[in-house]
Amino acid sequence: MNWQTLKHASLDDILHWAESQPWCRAMADCAQDAEWHSEGDVWTHTKMVCQQLAKLEDWSTLTSDEQTLLLFTALFHDAAKPLTSECDPETGRITSPKHAVKGEHLTRGVLRDLGCDLATREVITRLVRYHGRPAFLLERSEPVHEVVRLSWLVSNRLLYLFALADTRGRATDSMSRPEENLHYWKLLAEENGCYDQPYPFANDHARFLFFRQWEPNLHYIPHEAFVCRVTLLAGLPGSGKARRWPGQDL
């Protein structure tokens, strides 16, 4: 199959195609920690997440392109767990550190080989990369900064909706990060005007400083009413342009 065929295929056809792929077979053989995923292996969880997407209250309000973005995010969000999973020999707990980071690269390669266009591919890979962020929002020292920063990388709306499906697509009822925590992501994004769009910085300089500074100030508005004179010198190399100024004797 190629991308044009897959994007118009039914969920059952997409899952059937995926099961023939080596990265999917690896997910089916990859166990997960029972406290977080009592449903079993990674592929079982992935199928449950895909099925939960269509049950979301907002699913019918999404465009067909947005539904495709979320569906393929679900398909690949844990695809790198087989590459990163490790079992603690003392506790027997299974963890998959950095699986979202590696998943971004794995997803990009698969979608590129399928012929997926660049814009769509990068949206999906970024959603895969940051899919776990909403669940950890309350553990951040600056939750507002987290939501604002991510709004320039992904759609907070799509990220929130996927996080809901990801949480519901498992058989574990009791978790230390319940679904209610995810709603804070939506609330903060809406309060700061970046749920459906990137955060509206006062100007480009303010946006630059926010991402550049170690401890950014979200509400700082840089002064931009500069008054100065710029003299541009242009000439051949070795002509002495760097040593001659207006009014200077030659």
pLDDT at 237 over 90: no
Q: Where are the domains of the chain?
A: 3-212
Q: 219 φ, ψ to 5°? A: -100, 5
- CATH fold of the domain at 3-212: Hypothetical protein af1432 (1.10.3210)
Q: What is the pLDDT of residue 180?
A: 83
Report d(CA 74, CA 131) in Å as an integer.
Answer: 9
**DSSP-derived secondary structure for 25-62:** HHHHT----TTT-TT-SHHHHHHHHHHHHTTSTTGGGS
SS3 content of the chain, % helix, strand, coil (to 5): 55, 0, 45
The yes-or-no verdict on residue 246 having pLDDT over 60 is: no
Kindly state the tokens that stand for 74: 């679900």
Mean pLDDT over residues 239-245, rounded?
Answer: 62
**211 token code pair:** 């991402």
Question: Sorting pLDDT into bands at 50, 70 and 90, what band is 225?
Answer: confident
pLDDT in tens, 2-33: 999 999 999 999 999 999 999 999 999 988 87
Mean of pLDDT values over 27-54: 88
Residue 125: CA count within 13 A, CB half-sphere:
18
Question: What is the reported pLDDT for 59?
Answer: 96
The CA-to-CA distance between both ends of the chain, in Å, stands at 72
Length reported for the chain: 250
Mean pLDDT (the chain, rounded): 89
pLDDT of residue 142: 93
- Segment (H or E) for 87: strand 86-87
The residues near 161 (Cβ < 8 Å, ≥ 6 apart) are 53, 56, 58, 59, 62, 70
